[in-house]
Amino acid sequence: MTRGRPRKTDIDTVLDRAMKLFWKNGFEATSMNDITAETGMAKPGLYNCFGNKEALYAKALDRYINVFGVSVAELAASAGPLEHALREFLLAVARSVTDAGTPCGCFLTNTLVENSDKPSEIAALGRQLNERRNRALSERFHRAAAAGELGQDADPDALSAFFSAQALALGALASSGSDFPELCRYIDTAMTVLPPAPMAPA
């Protein structure tokens, strides 16, 4: 029996282990030998199932977003008050990046930082996933403005860019050792940027 490829039911497990290795160490510091040692899958099987190292990293990042990523679609569609939706979104990010069962920090943030200067599939995928979050926030802020939740002087695009950056910052802070209570204090400070809702006419 060859060692190159496990049973089909093991493929997701292999990808999960590769994902956590990339998440912890980054692209450059993770070799295919490291992935073989971590997953028990020989290089021929890895190449057959996932492609080269860059393709495997892209699949691992996509799996991270699907399994551990905070749903930006829920944020965009949320019907409650804007302040509540934003705080719950940032708290969900904080819980995700400080989960004791996974490597600390945000895999997407790590990807954007490590691969920002690389004209590769990885850098492009990281930017695409980050842009998805930006669009969701922008949609939510523009809807809030149309509903009268923001004052006339508020800039929905500037606010969406700011809060998108806070999601990235939470991942960076967690990677540097900040725990969940510390991130909650950071969120409290970030929320002070949100302008108060206009007063209803008497």
> Is 199 part of any domain?
no
Looking at the fold, whether 107 and 33 belong to one and the same domain comes out as no
* Residue 2 confidence class, pLDDT cut points 50, 70, 90: very low
Choose among 108, 72, 104, 64: nearest CA to 88: 72
> Is 40 inside a domain boundary?
yes
- Rounded to 10 deg, the angle between the 82-97 and 121-146 helix axes is 150
Tell me: do 42 and 106 sit in the same domain.
no
Residues 120 and 30 in one domain: no
- The first and second tokens of residue 109, run together, are 């943030």
**Is residue 3, in this structure, part of any structural domain at all?**
no
Provide the percentage of residues in the chain whose pLDDT is more than 70.
91
Which of 194, 199, 179, 200 is CA-nearest to residue 140? Answer: 194
State yes or no: pLDDT of 9 exceeds 60: no
Q: Looking at the structure, do residues 40 and 128 belong to the same domain, yes or no? A: no
**pLDDT single digits (tens) 38-94:** 999 999 999 999 999 989 998 998 888 888 877 777 777 777 899 998 999 999 999
Domain around 114: 68-191
Are residues 14 and 96 both part of a single domain? no
Residue 104 structure tokens: 């600390």
Q: Both 28 and 107 in a single domain?
A: no
Which residues 6+ apart lie within 8 Å of 115 measured at CB?
Answer: 27, 122, 123, 126
Mean pLDDT of the chain: 85
Residue 25: count of CB within 10 angstroms of its CB: 14
CATH code at position 39? 1.10.10.60
* 87 & 185 share domain: yes
Give the separation between CA 103 and CA 174, rounded to whole angstroms: 10
Q: Could you tell me if 99 and 16 lie in one domain? A: no
- Interacting residues of 140 by C-beta distance below 8 A, sequence separation 6+: 75, 76, 78, 82, 85, 86, 160
Note the pLDDT tens digit of each residue in 92-135.
Answer: 999 989 998 888 888 888 888 887 666 577 777 778 878 888 88
At a CB cut-off of 8 Å and minimum separation 6, what does 171 contact? 93, 97, 105, 106, 108, 109, 110
- pLDDT confidence of residue 132: 84
Q: Are residues 39 and 80 in the same domain?
A: no
- CA distance readout (Å), 9 to 13, 99, 139: 8, 26, 39
Burial 107-125 (b: 16+ CB within 10 A, else e): bbbbbbbbbeeeeeebbeb
31 inside domain: yes
- Residue 47 has what pLDDT? 92
Q: Are residues 122 and 176 in the same domain?
A: yes
Q: Is pTM, for the whole model, over 0.95? A: no
Whether 21 maps to a domain, the answer reads: yes
127 backbone dihedrals φ, ψ, rounded to 5°: -65, -40
92 and 144 belong to one structural domain: yes
CB 133 within 8 A of CB 167: yes
Provide the number of structural domains found in the chain: 2
Please indicate, yes or no, whether residues 90 and 163 belong to a single structural domain of this protein. Answer: yes
